[in-house]
Amino acid sequence: MSAQLETTSTPYLPALIGLRRRWDEHVLAWLIAAITLVPLAVVLASLLQPQADIWGHLAEFVLPKLLVNTIWLVLGVALGTLLLGVSLAWLTAIYDFPGRKHFTWALALPLAMPAYVLAFVQIGLYDFTGPLQTVIRELGFSSHWVPPIRSRGGVILTLTLALYPYVYLLARNAFQTQGRRALEAAASLGFSRRQGFWRVALPMARPWLVGGVTLALMECLADFGTVATFNYDTFTTAIYKAWFSLFNLTAASQLASLLVLVVLVLALVEQHVRGDKRYTAAGRLAQARPEPLAGWRGLLASSACLAVLALAFLIPFAQLLWWVKSVAVDQLDWRYLGFIGRSLMLSAGAALVVVVLALGLTYAVRRRNGLASRLVARLATIGYAVPGTVLAVGVFIPIAWLDNRLIELVHALGWGEPTQLIKGTLAVMLLAYIARFLAVAFEPTQSAMQRITASQEEVAASMGLSRHAVLRRIHLPMLRGGLFTAALMVFVDVMKEMPITLMTRPFGWDTLSVRVFEMTSEGQWEMAALPAVAIILAGLIPVVVLALHMEKQA
């Protein structure tokens, strides 16, 4: 009887083992996704417990101004990045003019300069006491005609110059893959070149344009340092003030919940605009030669690209270097070793943890491919579209609750009287970084994983290798490039990140970005230049690599 039971149950063992493995991978994916979903759920849960006094105060004194400022900012940045990104992408993709080969990658350099750095440089350059207006007055002219940089227009201009590369890179890729063919098709229909651009090439590039503008707007809504430097109140600054100025975490969570809803609406609008349409190119388009622009047309194209690059990167970076030259001798001391060391340690640690989790999520999705796994991956990586101030609030609230329960337990056991155990530690920052930047590491890791064919895994399994052995001997070596790219991108993003670091750092744990914020808050632009240059230099290499990689793929 025992032998019969053993014989009949044996065929079910592989199925049970396979079920357990799929269950383990499913749990792993959901645990990783929970790092992002729990903070968002905590923030959105505040909507279910509205407090009349807080909402009354917000509705009367806070929300009207925030909504007006945010709407103007979103509209201005959307229009500005679309105009600059599309025009520069069309020029460099379709036409040939002096300096084009250099401009194709150089126009992406503003991505290396954080928007909050560009913000204080713009104020230092173009304010009443800045070099531009000072030179105008020294020449005997009035500087009143110079538009004020400390204005809504100044904020929109700064964010547009900082964020247009998102649209530029995607639009250029679109025009390179189908732009010339679109013009040929338009010409065959009797359209002029201008009509072909507006009626054929531009509509065909709509998915890329929507994606680029959406990325720019997500960054715009998440921005804290730029609007704080200009003293332009938006949801991110209001969340920070509610927490650290009014010491009202409940009000901060209420404002954060509204910002999450705005971000989700923006994501839904993007999906609706994209629809189910597919735009593909026929033929070998990459070999199409750009049309030469000779004479004054070529000079005008070069001048336009140079003007944008100068305003967005060259002039601000030169000004930073000038300020560094004047303060480096006095400022370079042991404190900066601490700023740099903490920034590097935080960025490297976050990159390592985020890449490991991204690898785990990618592996779980790979092993259990289907609608459910793709949904988990989408939920786990949605944090990149959520502002850092929101994630800081969402992470801090459950950590504070857990910390209080642990403190009560310690008191009950008589092990001491601590005031905090988890709050104010690097663990809080790390959790917020994971939720914010998991998508940054997941995308290149997943792209690299897709290059590994199922047949390679089957051959390894047929040789008797276990799952862990396949991961160690097959996956990891072939994923090395994608994991390195993911780690580099997370490293740079954490170096530039400001609101999460500012709101969740341990006491006295200042980094380069925190140093920039403190100096710019006091209007000391020269003092902020030194940490700003260090951040920019850290971001230059991956930006250039990204631009050249996209150029090679096109």
* Residue corresponding to tokens 């096109």: 554
Considering the domain boundaries, does residue 17 fall inside one? no
Which two tokens mark 186?
A: 């338009």
CA distance 464 to 469: 9
Concatenated DSSP letters of 222-291: H--HHHHHTT---HHHHHHHHHHTS--HHHHHHHHHHHHHHHHHHHHHHHHHHTT------S-GGGPPPE
Q: Is residue 180 part of a domain?
A: yes
* 338-344: long-range contacts, CB 8 A cutoff, minimum separation 24: 338/510, 339/510, 339/511, 339/512, 339/515, 339/531, 340/512, 340/534, 342/509, 342/510, 342/511, 343/495, 343/511, 343/512, 343/513, 343/534
Residues contacting 320, CB < 8 A, separation 6+ = 117, 121, 529, 532, 533, 536
155 found inside a domain: yes
| Phi, psi for 286 (deg, rounded to 5) | -60, -20
209: closest CA among 70, 72, 81? 81
For residues 355 and 358, what is the distance between their CA atoms, to the nearest angstrom?
5
Q: Is residue 230 part of a domain?
A: yes
Distance separating alpha carbons of residues 344 and 350, to the nearest angstrom: 10
Indicate the pTM of the whole model. 0.80
pLDDT in tens, the chain (554 residues): 444 444 444 444 444 444 455 556 778 888 998 998 999 888 888 777 777 777 787 787 888 888 899 999 999 999 999 999 999 998 998 888 999 888 988 998 898 889 999 999 999 999 888 888 888 888 888 878 888 899 999 999 999 999 998 889 888 877 876 656 666 776 777 776 677 777 777 777 777 788 788 878 888 888 898 999 999 999 888 888 888 777 777 788 888 888 888 877 776 666 666 554 444 444 444 445 677 888 888 899 999 999 999 999 999 999 999 998 887 777 777 777 888 888 889 999 999 999 999 988 888 887 766 677 778 888 888 887 788 888 888 898 889 888 888 888 888 887 777 777 787 788 889 999 999 998 888 878 887 777 666 666 666 666 666 666 666 666 677 777 778 878 888 888 898 888 899 888 888 788 889 999 888 888 888 888 989 998 898 878 777 776 666 556 55
Number of domains composing the chain: 1
* 28 in any annotated domain: yes
Any residues with CB less than 8 A from the CB of 352 and at least 6 apart, and which? 487
Distance CA 295, CA 301 (A): 10
What CATH code is carried by the domain that includes residue 26?
1.10.3720.10
The predicted pLDDT at position 82 comes to: 94
Q: Has residue 1 been placed in a domain?
A: no
| CA neighbor of 243 nearest in space, from 57, 503, 12 | 503
Structural domain includes residue 326: yes
Amino acid identity, position 105? W
> Do the beta carbons of residue 376 and residue 456 sit within 8 Å?
no
Is 71 a domain residue?
Answer: no
280: left (phi over 0), alpha (psi -120 to 50) or beta: beta
Tokens of 239: 């969340």
**23 near 372, Cβ under 8 Å?**
no
Domain that holds residue 187: 22-47+77-553
